[in-house]
Chain A
Amino acid sequence: MNSLANKWVTDWLGDLGRITLLGKEAFTSLLTLRVSWRDLLYQIHFIGVKSQSVVLVTGAFTGMVLAAQTYFQFHKVKMDTATLAVVGVSMCSELGPVLTALMVAGRVGAAMAAELGTMRVTEQIDALRTLATHPVDYLVVPRLLASHIVLPLLTVEAIAVGIGAGYGVGVFLLDIDPVYSWYNMLRYTAVQDLAMGLIKAFIYGGIIAIVGCYKGMTCSEGAEGVGHATTEAVVYSSITILIANFFLTLTLGRLLQTL
């Protein structure tokens, strides 16, 4: 039992170290490399455009549920018109970035791990290396850069749709006063809330790309190896996002309050 725990801790620390090194290598490459615009645009299209439906549905229904739940509680203390303010703050600073990141991790992180994992087991990554191409430059950097660019944009989209859908539910289904609702939302939702959401989204984009690429590039042989890598990419990136969210909320909350 003790040796199993030791092995688990050793593996976990080893993974963490290798992911950090991959991140460092990608960051260094990002600073010095002439990025291939074609590859970058392809990745932006894959991560951003093709995630539209997932992000729109997630954002809309999260905003709607949040508005309904908040209304049911606030109605008891006659604070109906504060409903949209809660939706606004929650969507901007927490639910927008976190749920968007989790959905993209499920769709894109898995796809990255599967694609790179298949390339690894079919020796395509070795072939890249024999063609004097560093796999991090060619495979990781465009994905990382595209994720960093796209996640904040998708988050803004999810926030806007979530607030709009919450407004629709509040005003048209639950008969909340539209003018006061809107006024309260603008009053209580600060620029700092949106800034926090965007900073978080930027960081989550990096987590999704790095974990997905790492799991793909280090997967074990065969179809089973690719399957494991895909599952682990989604699980690890989702858990990392949720843990990072707590620390980011504390840090950014303090930092942005001072501005």
Chain B
Amino acid sequence: MIEARALQKGFAQQRVLDGVSFRIEKGESVVIIGRSGCGKSVLLKQLIGLQKPDAGEVLIENENIVGMSERQLMRVRRRFGMLFQGAALFDSMTVAENVGFAFRRNRSLKPREVAQKVAEALEMVDLPGTEAKKPSELSGGMRKRVGLARAIVYQPEIVLYDEPTTGLDPIVADSIDQLMLRVRDRLKVTTVVVTHDMRSARRVGQRILMLHDKKIHATGTPEEIFGSQDPVVKQFINGVADPKDTYF
């Protein structure tokens, strides 16, 4: 279970989150939507302790992680896997070294067992046989898949996705959506996705939270959100720009 309580966060003079609260149950699949720059990625990073809020609490299984040191957070992060916007693969390593990184660091498994786990994870993301490739040899979609394989290889309880389909063509984006669903269903993980891709939000989310004006503006099932008459939600879903709006 993940719970955010009255989170606040600002950078320099600008506040991006002001009293954000929500709760995500175990096994749930939640999508956080909102306009570019509204603080979605900041919010996601606070859930795993990569950024600390200025005020508020983040509870993971009823344990507040906000005051924890980096070393204490390492224990909590073993529950998580995260796919970054640009995949964030280690460019000096091969695909196999990237995916098996956590095992190699912990030295908990023999090299043969690590290789088998890596192969299974790559199989799950439809990239078998790419172990020896370098990240620079992969396309954008393949990099995201390797990033996902790295996030799920040690079977986390919670998987966070930061803009998983951004920068991909619609067909590759669709395949990433399918992968997220596959991972959710096979590994029974709690899924939190940050995106402004409405098609992806509709497919992956069991519940959608909309972040607007530093707060959670709307929450509901995909049907409720897509059928909403709220002007802010409606404008975002329909992707209609207001020429007078220079806020972003």
A residues with a Cβ closer than 8 A to B are 34, 36, 119, 122-124, 126-127, 129-134, 138
Contact of B102 among A36, A119, A122, A132 (CB under 8 A): A132
B135–chain A nearest beta-carbon distance, Å: 10
Q: Are B150 and A131 in contact (CB under 8 A)?
A: yes
B45 contact set on A, CB distance < 8 A: 126
By secondary structure, the B interface counts as mixed
Judging by beta carbons under 8 Å apart, are A126 and B102 in contact? no
Interface centre among A119, A122, A129, A131, by most chain B C-beta atoms within 10 angstroms, is A131
A123 to B84, CA, bound (A): 8
Contacts of A127 in B (CB 8 A): 82, 84, 88-90, 150
Contact of B105 among A119, A126, A130, A133 (CB under 8 A): A133
List 14 A-B pairs, Cβ < 8 Å.
A34-B107, A124-B89, A124-B90, A126-B45, A127-B150, A129-B50, A129-B70, A131-B101, A132-B74, A132-B75, A132-B77, A133-B102, A134-B71, A138-B105
By the criterion CB–CB under 8 Å, are A130 and B90 in contact? no
Contacts of B150 in A (CB 8 A): 127, 131
| Interface check B81, CB cutoff 8 A | yes
Known: A127-B84, A131-B105, A133-B74. 19 other contacts (CB 8 A): A34-B107, A119-B90, A122-B86, A122-B88, A122-B91, A123-B84, A123-B85, A123-B88, A124-B90, A126-B84, A129-B73, A129-B74, A130-B77, A130-B151, A131-B150, A133-B101, A133-B102, A134-B71, A138-B105
CB within 8 Å for A132 and B78 given contacts A124-B90, A126-B45, A138-B105: yes
* Bound CA–CA A134/B105 (angstroms): 11
Q: How far is the CB of B17 from chain A (nearest CB, A)?
A: 18
Q: Indicate if the CB atoms of B71 and A130 lie closer than 8 Å.
A: no
- CB-nearest residue of chain B relative to A129? B50
8 smallest beta-carbon distances between A and B, as pairs? A127-B88, A123-B88, A130-B82, A132-B74, A131-B102, A123-B84, A132-B77, A132-B78
A130 to B153, CA, bound (A): 13
Q: Are B50 and A130 in contact (CB under 8 A)?
A: yes
Q: Give A18 Cβ to nearest chain B Cβ, in Å.
A: 13
Q: In the complex, what distance in Å separates the CA atom of A134 from the CA atom of B48?
A: 14
